[in-house]
């Protein structure tokens, strides 16, 4: 299985990027980060750790109810040049040569240099630590680093990556008695091409790359599989307040060139590599990511947006279980995926994709039981009030609040249980159908017909319509971008990521990309003034993990750049 494979380690750029054109382009970039590292720290880096962003091709807002999704790694990535700090380092050496000390800098001047060090916990929490407990995450380990989750800074993601390495590989008993068990001081230089806040998982890429950097510099990479790195990165990202289900990390770690992942979450996290047909279709196709430039402040808007969707789906699962005669305990909080399995009488080990498809198709008519009566509510309103929702749950107000509202803040007049359920089950079905199209294409020989792209595009269009009207996780600007993409020739276009802004992903013929981007630029008002690099940051084509971009770690020969970028 892909998750059991070791983390790839390369010793030259042509191993990491088999396509010579890609290797030449990346060679210039790697050369820049290596040379700048030496200027800043006074010595050459030992390694470059790399983690790509990801685009979710289909399967939005269903991972937290434990249905599968279909992400792919993208060519945009985070690079970290890294190595042990040396006494001859330039300014900052005194700080970084403390036990496990870190000096982190970024090629982007927007991000200020940072110096910090972990501390061994030899006593209980200080008064200041207790006072900050509500907003600071502390490691449940021998080591301590502050991460203020109320004001996330770029170094917060570095610290999050460091925590997992400290906790797993530097236990307290050894650290207190054996200096060899201490983490080494580290110099890090970051550069990245994943747009932040765009829904392409720049934060997950930062945490994955940081985790890899600390593993490699401390010689702890042996025995670490792709699956264990996913688990570490998931746990690490929780330290910045992100309760991830593993979708982003799995895509960033496990994907391979020209493939996507069918990621499932029930009864446990699993990932299946699925070859994409796009390199063999006529015409060949790529995915184009377009940033709406609308940023949704997830902290501020969560009670109306993301957190509300989570609560609506969880309550919807209980209400539907009641209507189907499925008995639940008063403290249970099952998801739609769990209710489906209980209704089907499926074993806890779960169903394969074919069995799940049949099960969803059988179950879909039952979702209509969540549609409320029209009497007594505004025309067209399909939601229920809080009082109605509590009554439908079969719980007392006190128990309902304990199970569904005590841990999260939400705010709305009408809770859309029916719409959210309809989105979840139809989207889960589309993910399986997308997978089927890819597998049928992979089983066929020779060049693939354009109809393959048409079928994938239709599923993407249906997904966006559902996200916009049933999940209601889109926004006018994203809807406009999808319409523009279709009119500009895309086979399909949809929102990707958490939503309420962020990016769209469109399936486009490779030989039409330039024309496509120009048409979108002319039609989307926020793009009209963008030129050059600013436009390329906003809208760009990508091949999933093309040129081995799914490989996450590159061992750096000290003269690796001598033949590139000259």
> With 90 as the cut, is the pLDDT of residue 477 above it?
yes
Same structural domain, 426 and 531: no
Find out whether 253 and 53 touch, Cβ atoms under 8 Å: no
- 244 vs 139: which has the higher pLDDT: 244
DSSP 8-state symbol, 405: I
Catalytic status, residue 77: no
Residue 531: strand, helix, or coil = coil
Same structural domain, 161 and 80: yes
With left for phi above 0 and alpha for psi between -120 and 50, is residue 449 left, alpha or beta? beta
User: Which of the following is catalytic: 77, 187, 248, 270?
Assistant: 248
Q: Which residue bears the tokens 């790697």?
A: 30
CATH number of the domain bearing residue 335: 1.20.1440.340
* Assigned domain for 565 exists: no
Question: Poorest-confidence range of 270-274, 489-493, 522-526?
Answer: 270-274
- 356 vs 234: which has the higher pLDDT: 356
* Assigned domain for 123 exists: yes
Mean pLDDT, the chain, rounded, equals 86
Q: What is the pLDDT of residue 52?
A: 92
Question: Can you say how many angstroms the Cα of residue 46 is from the centroid of all Cα atoms in its chain?
Answer: 28
Same structural domain, 358 and 453: yes
Rounded to the nearest 5 percent, the helix, strand and coil shares of the chain are 45, 15, 40
Instruction: Please give the average per-residue pLDDT across 385-396, as a whole number.
Output: 97
Q: What is the pLDDT of residue 392?
A: 98
Q: Cβ-count burial of 512 within 10 angstroms (0-12 exposed, 13-18 middle, 19+ buried)?
A: middle
Buried b / exposed e over 426-456, threshold 16 CB at 10 Å, is bbbbbbbbbbbbbbebeeeeeebeeebbebb
> With 70 as the cut, is the pLDDT of residue 274 above it?
yes
The phi, psi pair for 49, rounded to 5°, reads: -100, 140
> With 90 as the cut, is the pLDDT of residue 295 above it?
no
Q: What is the pLDDT of residue 510?
A: 97
- The pLDDT tens digits for 500-525 are 999 999 999 999 999 999 999 999 99
| Pick from 162, 191, 206: nearest CA to 35 | 191
Instruction: Please give the average per-residue pLDDT across 381-410, as a whole number.
Output: 96
Instruction: Please give the average per-residue pLDDT across 61-87, as a whole number.
Output: 92
Question: Poorest-confidence range of 15-29, 201-215, 306-320?
Answer: 15-29
> With 70 as the cut, is the pLDDT of residue 561 above it?
no
Overall number of domains in the chain? 3
Residue 541: strand, helix, or coil = strand
Question: Poorest-confidence range of 94-108, 189-203, 236-250, 296-310?
Answer: 236-250
Domain boundary among 472, 495, 510: 472
pTM greater than the 0.95 cutoff: no
* Assigned domain for 452 exists: yes
Find out whether 415 and 312 touch, Cβ atoms under 8 Å: yes
Instruction: Please give the average per-residue pLDDT across 464-479, as a whole number.
Output: 97
> With 70 as the cut, is the pLDDT of residue 300 above it?
no
* Assigned domain for 410 exists: yes
Same structural domain, 413 and 267: no
Same structural domain, 69 and 176: yes
Same structural domain, 240 and 376: no
CATH number of the domain bearing residue 67: 3.30.230.10
With left for phi above 0 and alpha for psi between -120 and 50, is residue 532 left, alpha or beta? left
Instruction: Please give the average per-residue pLDDT across 207-216, as a whole number.
Output: 92
Domain boundary among 472, 494, 527: 472
Domain boundary among 472, 503, 518: 472
Same structural domain, 402 and 494: no
Same structural domain, 62 and 185: yes
Same structural domain, 154 and 80: yes
Instruction: Please give the average per-residue pLDDT across 399-410, as a whole number.
Output: 95
Same structural domain, 36 and 126: yes
Same structural domain, 76 and 192: yes
Q: What is the pLDDT of residue 93?
A: 47
Same structural domain, 56 and 101: yes
Neighbours of 336 (CB within 10 A): 24
Rounded CA separation 328/395 (Å)? 11
* Assigned domain for 564 exists: no
Question: Poorest-confidence range of 286-290, 310-314, 345-349, 489-493?
Answer: 345-349
Q: Cβ-count burial of 146 within 10 angstroms (0-12 exposed, 13-18 middle, 19+ buried)?
A: middle
What is the sign, positive or negative, of the torsion defined by CA atoms of 405, 407, 412, 414?
A: negative
Rounded CA separation 52/208 (Å)? 9
Banded pLDDT at 298 (limits 50, 70, 90): low
Maximal C-alpha separation, the chain: 78
What is the sign, positive or negative, of the torsion defined by CA atoms of 367, 429, 303, 242?
A: positive
**DSSP output for 51-80:** EEEEEE-S--S-GGGT--B-EEEEEEEEEE
Neighbours of 531 (CB within 10 A): 10
Instruction: Please give the average per-residue pLDDT across 2-24, as a whole number.
Output: 77
Question: Poorest-confidence range of 22-26, 248-252, 435-439, 542-546?
Answer: 542-546
* Assigned domain for 381 exists: yes
The three-point CA angle 226-3-353 to 5° equals: 145
Rounded CA separation 223/442 (Å)? 32
CATH number of the domain bearing residue 496: 3.30.70.3170
Percent of the chain residues topping a pLDDT of 90 = 61
- The pLDDT tens digits for 102-128 are 999 999 999 999 999 998 876 444 444
* Assigned domain for 90 exists: yes
DSSP 8-state symbol, 369: G
Q: What is the pLDDT of residue 108?
A: 94
> With 90 as the cut, is the pLDDT of residue 388 above it?
yes
Residue 34 CB partners (closer than 8 Å, separation 6+):
44, 45, 48, 81, 556, 560, 561
> With 90 as the cut, is the pLDDT of residue 403 above it?
yes
* Assigned domain for 65 exists: yes
**DSSP output for 324-368:** TT----TT----HHHHHHHHHT--TT---HHHHHHHHHHHGGGGG
The phi, psi pair for 293, rounded to 5°, reads: 65, 15
Banded pLDDT at 167 (limits 50, 70, 90): confident
Domain that holds residue 434: 306-472
Q: What is the pLDDT of residue 241?
A: 66
Question: Can you say how many angstroms the Cα of residue 8 is from the centroid of all Cα atoms in its chain?
Answer: 20
> With 70 as the cut, is the pLDDT of residue 88 above it?
no
- The pLDDT tens digits for 179-188 are 566 899 999 9
Q: Name the strand (E) or helix (H) holding 137.
A: strand 136-137
């Amino acid at each position: 299985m892909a998750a059991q494979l070791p983390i790839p380690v390369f010793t030259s750029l042509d191993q990491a990027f088999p396509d010579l054109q890609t290797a030449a382009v990346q060679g210039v970039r790697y050369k820049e980060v290596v040379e700048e590292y030496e200027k800043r720290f006074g010595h050459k880096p030992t390694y470059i750790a790399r983690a790509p962003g990801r685009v979710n091709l289909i399967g939005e807002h269903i991972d937290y109810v434990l249905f599968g999704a279909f992400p792919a790694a993208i060519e945009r990535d985070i690079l970290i040049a890294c190595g042990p700090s040396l006494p001859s380092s330039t300014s900052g050496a005194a700080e970084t040569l403390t036990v496990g000390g870190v000096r982190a800098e970024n090629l982007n001047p927007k991000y200020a240099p940072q110096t910090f060090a972990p501390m061994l916990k030899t006593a209980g929490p200080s008064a200041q630590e207790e006072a900050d407990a509500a907003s600071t995450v502390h490691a449940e380990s021998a080591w301590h680093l502050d991460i203020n989750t109320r004001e996330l800074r770029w170094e917060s993601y570095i610290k999050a990556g460091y925590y997992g390495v400290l906790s797993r590989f530097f236990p307290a008993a050894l650290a207190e008695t054996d200096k060899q068990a201490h983490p080494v001081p580290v110099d890090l230089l970051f550069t990245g091409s994943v747009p932040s806040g765009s829904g392409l998982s720049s934060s997950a890429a930062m945490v994955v790359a940081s985790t890899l950097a600390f593993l490699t510099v401390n010689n702890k990479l042996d025995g670490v599989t792709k699956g264990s790195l996913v688990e570490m990165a998931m746990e690490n990202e929780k330290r910045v307040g992100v309760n991830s289900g593993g979708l982003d990390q799995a895509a960033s770690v496990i994907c391979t060139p020209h493939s996507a992942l069918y990621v499932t979450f029930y009864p446990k996290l699993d990932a299946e590599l699925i070859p994409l047909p796009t390199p063999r279709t006529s015409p060949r196709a790529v995915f184009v990511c377009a940033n709406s430039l609308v940023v949704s402040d997830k902290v501020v808007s969560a009670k109306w947006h993301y957190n509300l969707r989570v609560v609506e789906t969880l309550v919807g699962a209980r209400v539907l279980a009641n209507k189907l005669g499925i008995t639940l305990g008063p403290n249970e909080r099952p998801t739609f995926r769990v209710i489906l399995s209980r209704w089907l009488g499926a074993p806890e080990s779960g169903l394969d994709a074919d069995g799940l498809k049949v099960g969803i198709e059988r179950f879909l008519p039952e979702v209509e039981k969540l549609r409320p009566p029209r009497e007594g509510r505004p025309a067209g309103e399909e939601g229920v009030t809080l009082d109605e929702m509590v009554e439908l749950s079969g719980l007392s107000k006190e128990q309902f609040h304990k199970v569904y509202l005590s841990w999260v803040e939400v705010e709305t007049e009408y809770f859309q249980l029916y719409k959210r359920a309809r989105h979840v089950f139809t989207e889960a079905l589309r993910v399986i159908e997308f997978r089927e199209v890819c597998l049928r294409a992979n089983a066929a020989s020779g060049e693939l017909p354009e109809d393959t792209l048409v079928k994938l595009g239709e599923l993407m269009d249906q997904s966006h319509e559902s996200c916009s009207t049933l999940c209601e996780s889109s926004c006018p600007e994203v809807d406009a971008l999808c319409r523009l993409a279709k009119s500009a020739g895309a086979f399909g276009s949809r929102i990707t990521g958490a939503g309420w802004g962020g990016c769209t992903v469109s399936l486009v013929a490779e030989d039409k990309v330039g024309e496509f981007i120009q048409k979108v630029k002319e039609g989307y008002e926020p793009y009209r003034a963008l030129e050059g690099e600013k436009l390329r940051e906003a809208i760009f084509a990508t091949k999933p993990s093309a040129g081995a971009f799914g490989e996450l770690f590159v061992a750096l020969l000290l003269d690796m750049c001598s033949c590139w970028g000259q």
